[in-house]
Amino acid sequence: MTRLTALWVDVRNSFWFLPALMALGAVVLAEQVINLDERVGWSALRGLPWIYGGSVDGARAMLAAIAGSVIGVAGTTFSITIAALSLASSQMGPRLLEHFTRDRGNQVTLGTFIATFAFCLLVLRTVRGGDESPFVPHVAVTVGLLLALLSLAVLIYFIAHIAGGINVERVVRLVAGELTAAIETQFPERDRGRRITASTSPAGRPVQAEEVRASGSGYLQALDVGALLRLAERHDAVIRLTVRPGEFVFPGMVVAQTAPAALEDVQGALITGPRRTSSQDVEFAAQQLVEMAVRALSPGINDPFTAIGVLDHLGAALCRISGREAPPAQHFVGENLRLMVPVTDYAGLTNVMFHQIRQNGAPHPAVMLRLLEVLATVVEQERAPTRRISLRRHADLTLRAALRETQEEADRQDLEERHQHVLRVLGGELELNH
């Protein structure tokens, strides 16, 4: 089921799917409207002022003009847009182009142009002249004119929409939304009553375990936990996975250990693909934000404000995690342990969030000050001792890195004050060896 869901999500988010549906809808609409014209006839429509009342030549000219202009505008507009996005993606990374193709507004715009073009072509083929049986689909031509006006309105919307789409703050919000969705999916709330072990990573190895090796390669995008549990229950086995979503699976690599026997069907529950996805990989969602901050801090761009914005969203994500449990590393069927999976721990997630930003942001006192402020805010909400240790560690590393790069005495004092504030929030109970 997870495999089908992942396939459906990929198809639904693809750039061609919605325009194709809209073009198909235009074909159906054209056939229905033409049938209506044939049944009703011009004599019944003559008194309606809003119905097209021109001749055969006028109908042909109008439909041809609409079809030609709409497809020409679509090609020119999207060509210019792709060029602008290519320039903007050098600052924000390739995810900008990915969000462009997945954006519903962009898909609807392309679909409207294609649907109008297809509708006009299908109606144009039914226009007949001559003395024997002339036919002008008056209702269909009117609908084509309405679609042309709709295309004009959509074009105006698209220009405004794409202008906002290349705004770096909007892209950061979109990526942060993916991180929030991944957290809500993978980190269960504490009051759900789920059975979760205290350990955040599977320990031990099934007795007399046999190895299951990958037959192909690619990034592990998702696990079908339900299928794995049913498989283990059916064979009265215990399955221990050795890979987690986000890792690259090499051919022949050990992906699971099973006891009492090897279950080759395990590979059917591991969904691999050519790229990482954030559906079950919270680290990837965080890495996308971090990459935007690192690009912004590069000497060629030198945009610390974007990095500060990224830090704010990363801090918000950690605040959401503070009220949630770690992802379950062990899964039971009844009282029987059936599945063990490697999961993302808090320390690893914070390392992904802060290491690269700290390393690249050390020459920017404003970025390092904001990083310490974000850590202090998260510490105020996080009560788990092990998580607070990780946050304290990043505060110490941030201060050291910033002091090495900062020469201004005022900036150094501000950094030390922010670090002391983190320690005061911690209450001084976490003393690490420096």
Query: H helices of 128-199, where?
Result: 138-165, 168-186
In contact, 391 and 423? CB cutoff 8 Å: no
H/E element, 431: none
Q: Is the pLDDT of residue 389 over 70?
A: yes
Q: Per residue in 73-82, pLDDT tens?
A: 999 988 888 8
Q: Is the pLDDT of residue 93 over 80?
A: no
User: Of 202-216, 363-377, 401-415, where does mean pLDDT reach its minimum?
Assistant: 202-216
Question: CA nearest 158: which of 77, 276, 91, 99?
Answer: 77
Question: Rounded to whole angstroms, what are the CA distances from 195 to 325, 334, 385?
Answer: 11, 10, 21
Q: Per residue in 317-362, pLDDT tens?
A: 999 999 888 888 899 988 889 999 998 889 999 999 999 999 999 9
d(C-alpha 119, C-alpha 22), whole Å? 10
d(C-alpha 57, C-alpha 307), whole Å? 61
CA atoms within 13 A on the CB side of 284: 21
Q: Can you give the length of the chain in residues?
A: 434
User: Of 134-138, 308-312, 316-320, where does mean pLDDT reach its minimum?
Assistant: 134-138
Instruction: Please provide the DSSP assignment of 249-303 as one string.
Output: EPTT-EEEEEESS--GGGGGGEEEESS--SSS-HHHHHHHHHHHHHHHTSTTT--
Q: Per residue in 28-75, pLDDT tens?
A: 999 999 998 888 876 667 767 778 887 888 989 999 999 999 999 999
Cis omega (within 30 of 0) on the bond before 260? yes
Question: Rounded to whole angstroms, what are the CA distances from 77 to 52, 158, 388?
Answer: 29, 9, 51
Residue 322 burial (10 A CB sphere; 0-12, 13-18, 19+): middle
**Rounded mean pLDDT of 194-220?**
63
* pLDDT on residue 191: 58
d(C-alpha 301, C-alpha 288), whole Å? 17
**Rounded mean pLDDT of 141-150?**
94
* pLDDT on residue 433: 39
Tokens of 73: 């505008």
Strand-pairing partners, residue 344, are none
* pLDDT on residue 1: 55
Q: What's the pLDDT band for 247 if we cut at 50, 70, 90?
A: very high
The mean of the pLDDT values for the chain is 86
Q: Per residue in 253-301, pLDDT tens?
A: 999 988 877 677 888 888 888 888 888 889 998 998 999 999 999 988 8
Tokens of 414: 């501000």
Tokens of 262: 């090897």
Q: What's the pLDDT band for 430 if we cut at 50, 70, 90?
A: very low
Q: What's the pLDDT band for 2 if we cut at 50, 70, 90?
A: low
User: Of 57-71, 143-157, 195-209, 321-335, where does mean pLDDT reach its minimum?
Assistant: 195-209
* pLDDT on residue 197: 37
d(C-alpha 126, C-alpha 314), whole Å? 58
Which CATH superfamily includes the segment(s) 177-361? Pyrimidine nucleoside phosphorylase-like, C-terminal domain (3.90.1170.30)
In contact, 396 and 368? CB cutoff 8 Å: no
Q: Give the DSSP letter of residue 325.
A: P
Where are the domain boundaries for CATH 3.90.1170.30 in the chain? Answer: 177-361
* pLDDT on residue 326: 87
Strand-pairing partners, residue 223, are 270
Helix (H, G, I), strand (E, B) or coil at 99: helix
Question: CA nearest 73: which of 159, 143, 5?
Answer: 159
Of the two residues 44 and 420, the one the predictor is more confident about is 420
Percent with pLDDT over 70 in the chain: 90
Q: How open is the CA angle 110-102-170, to the nearest 5 degrees? A: 105
